[in-house]
C-alpha cells in the first residue's frame, strides 16, 4: 500500500488538534475495570512513557541541543504495542494469548480514559471521551535547572487576556497536563491531553527575584540593566545600562555596586540615584518579574513545519568523521 507521507504529516496533526476531552463529574474515585487498579495505574504510567529509556525518546543528542525545545505528538499505535508487550509477559500458552487478544480492546479503552485522570485530584471532575491525541515537548534549557518549578499551561485556543492574566485549572480553554517531569537537571518532559494551540512556559511566582539580563558570548558574559522610574515604577526609555563588574583579582563576576549607582545617577536621574540609593531603591531597580514564554502561532499556523528536519546531517558527518579523521 502506498502512503502519501506529505499528506499524512499535514492532515493528521490538524485532525488530532480538533479533538478535545470532555469532563464528566463522577462521585467515585475508582471505576469498574477489566484489570486491577494497581495494574491499570502501572500500565497508564507506561503509556505516558515512564520508565522508557531516554535514548528511545531522543535518538541522538544533536536532536536536542542546549537551549532548544522539540515538539511532538504521540503515535498511539506505538504505546498500544508497548502495553501489549508488557501484558504478554503473563501469557504462557496459546490459550492465554487468545484470551488476552480478546480482552485487549476493553483494556485499551480503559487506559485511554484513565491516563487523562492520572494527575487528577481525588474528588475532582473525571475526564471521559474518546480523545486519542497526545502531544507534548522536550525542553533542554538552563531555565529548567534554574527554576525547577516552571509552570506549563496548554490551551486549545489563544487566550485573549494580557500576559499578566491568571488561568485557573478549571478554565475550559486549558488542556489537561498528563505528565510534567524533569528527566535531567536541565531537561523537562511534558505531555498534554491533545494537541495544544498555544503553550505558556512561565517562571514560578512563589518568590521575589533580583537580577540583570545576562548575555553569554562564548566564555564571556555581560549583563545589562533597564532602569526604572522611582515614582511610576515603569522602565525608562533608552539603551539599557551595562552593569560594571569589579576588576579586582579573585572577584570575577562580582558587581561593582558603587560604580553602578554612579552610572545610574549620570545616565538616569529619574531613578533617584543622584542623592544616593538605599537598599529599597536598589530593590526597585533590580527586581525581576516572572517571565512567560508563549509558544504557538495565533494566526494561520503552519503545523507541517513542526515536522521539518532542522539538523544538517551532511555538515555533522563531515565535522564528526571527515575533518577529525580516524580515531
Residue 321 forms part of a structural domain: no
**Helices and strands in the chain, H and E counts:** 9, 14
Cα distance between residue 140 and residue 55, in whole Å: 15
Label residue 229 by pLDDT band (50, 70, 90): confident
Angle at CA of residue 220, ends 269 and 241, nearest 5°: 10
Take residue 25 and report the three cell numbers written for it: 463529574
Statement to judge: residues 22 and 39 lie in one domain = yes
pLDDT of residue 227: 84
| Residue at grid coordinates 490538524 | 14
Statement to judge: residues 281 and 162 lie in one domain = no
Residue 47 forms part of a structural domain: yes
Cα distance between residue 75 and residue 56, in whole Å: 14
- CB of 41 closer than 8 Å to CB of 50: no
pLDDT of residue 181: 92
Residue 130 forms part of a structural domain: yes
Statement to judge: residues 161 and 15 lie in one domain = yes
Domain count for the chain, please give it: 2
Residue 327 forms part of a structural domain: no
Q: In Å, how far are 125, 214, 220, 247 from 223, measured between CA atoms?
A: 47, 4, 10, 15
Statement to judge: residues 238 and 103 lie in one domain = no
pLDDT of residue 302: 42
Statement to judge: residues 18 and 155 lie in one domain = yes
In this prediction the pTM is 0.69
Statement to judge: residues 126 and 271 lie in one domain = no
| Residue at grid coordinates 514564554 | 293
Expressed as residue numbers, the domain containing 249 is 214-288
**Ordered strands of the 68-73 beta sheet:** 68-73, 135-140, 187-192, 177-184
Residue 310 forms part of a structural domain: yes
pLDDT of residue 79: 86
Statement to judge: residues 227 and 186 lie in one domain = no
Residue 325 forms part of a structural domain: no
Beta carbons within 8 Å of 34's beta carbon, 6+ residues apart: 103, 106, 107, 110
In this structure, of 15-24, 75-84, 99-108, 131-140, the range with the lowest mean pLDDT score is 15-24
Statement to judge: residues 192 and 259 lie in one domain = no
pLDDT of residue 171: 77
Take residue 227 and report the three cell numbers written for it: 532602569
What secondary structure does DSSP assign to 72-90, as a single string?
EE--HHHHHHHHHHHHGGG
Angle at CA of residue 56, ends 104 and 191, nearest 5°: 70
Beta carbons within 8 Å of 113's beta carbon, 6+ residues apart: 31, 127, 128, 129
- CB of 303 closer than 8 Å to CB of 13: yes
Statement to judge: residues 139 and 119 lie in one domain = yes
Residue 326 forms part of a structural domain: no
- With 0-12 CB in 10 A as exposed, 13-18 as middle and 19+ as buried, what is 234? exposed
Cα distance between residue 114 and residue 111, in whole Å: 5
**Residues 275-300 pLDDT 10s:** 777 777 778 888 877 788 888 864 44
Statement to judge: residues 109 and 80 lie in one domain = yes
Label residue 139 by pLDDT band (50, 70, 90): very high
Statement to judge: residues 151 and 260 lie in one domain = no
Mean pLDDT of the chain: 77
Statement to judge: residues 130 and 266 lie in one domain = no
- With 0-12 CB in 10 A as exposed, 13-18 as middle and 19+ as buried, what is 264? buried
CA torsion 61-64-65-71 (nearest 10°) is 170
**Residues 154-207 pLDDT 10s:** 888 888 776 667 777 777 788 888 899 999 999 999 998 888 888 888 888 776
User: What whole-number percentage of the chain has pLDDT above 70?
Assistant: 75
Residue 54 forms part of a structural domain: yes
Amino acid at each position: 500500500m502506498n502512503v502519501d507521507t506529505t499528506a499524512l504529516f499535514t492532515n493528521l496533526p490538524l485532525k488530532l488538534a480538533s479533538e478535545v476531552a470532555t469532563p464528566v463529574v463522577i462521585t467515585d474515585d475508582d471505576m469498574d475495570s477489566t484489570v486491577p487498579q494497581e495494574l491499570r495505574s502501572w500500565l497508564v504510567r507506561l503509556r505516558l512513557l515512564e520508565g522508557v529509556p531516554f535514548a528511545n525518546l531522543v535518538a541522538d543528542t544533536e536532536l536536542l541541543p542546549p537551549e532548544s525545545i522539540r515538539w511532538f505528538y504521540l503515535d498511539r499505535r506505538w504505546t498500544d504495542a508497548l502495553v501489549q508487550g508488557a501484558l504478554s509477559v503473563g501469557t504462557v500458552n496459546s490459550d492465554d494469548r487468545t484470551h488476552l487478544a480478546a480482552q485487549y480492546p476493553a483494556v485499551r479503552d480503559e487506559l485511554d480514559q484513565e491516563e487523562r485522570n492520572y494527575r487528577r485530584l481525588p474528588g475532582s471532575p473525571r475526564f471521559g471521551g474518546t480523545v486519542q491525541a497526545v502531544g507534548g515537548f522536550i525542553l533542554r534549557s538552563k531555565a529548567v535547572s534554574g527554576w525547577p518549578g516552571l509552570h506549563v499551561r496548554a490551551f486549545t485556543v489563544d487566550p485573549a487576556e494580557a500576559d499578566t492574566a491568571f488561568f485557573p485549572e478549571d478554565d475550559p480553554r486549558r488542556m489537561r497536563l498528563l505528565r510534567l517531569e524533569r528527566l535531567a537537571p536541565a531537561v523537562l518532559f511534558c505531555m498534554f491531553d491533545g494537541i495544544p494551540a498555544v503553550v505558556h512556559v512561565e517562571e514560578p511566582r512563589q518568590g521575589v527575584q533580583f537580577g540583570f539580563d545576562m548575555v553569554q558570548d562564548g566564555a564571556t558574559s555581560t549583563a545589562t540593566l533597564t532602569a526604572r522610574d522611582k515614582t511610576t515604577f515603569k522602565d525608562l526609555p533608552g539603551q539599557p545600562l551595562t552593569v560594571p563588574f569589579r576588576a579586582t583579582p579573585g572577584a570575577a563576576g562580582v558587581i561593582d555596586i558603587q560604580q553602578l549607582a554612579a552610572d545610574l545617577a549620570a545616565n538616569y536621574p529619574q531613578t533617584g540615584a543622584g542623592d544616593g540609593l538605599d537598599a529599597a531603591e536598589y530593590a526597585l531597580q533590580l527586581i525581576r518579574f516572572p517571565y512567560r514564554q508563549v509558544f504557538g502561532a495565533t494566526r494561520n499556523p503552519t503545523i507541517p513545519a513542526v515536522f521539518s528536519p532542522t539538523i544538517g546531517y551532511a555538515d555533522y558527518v563531515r565535522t564528526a568523521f571527515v575533518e577529525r579523521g580516524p580515531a
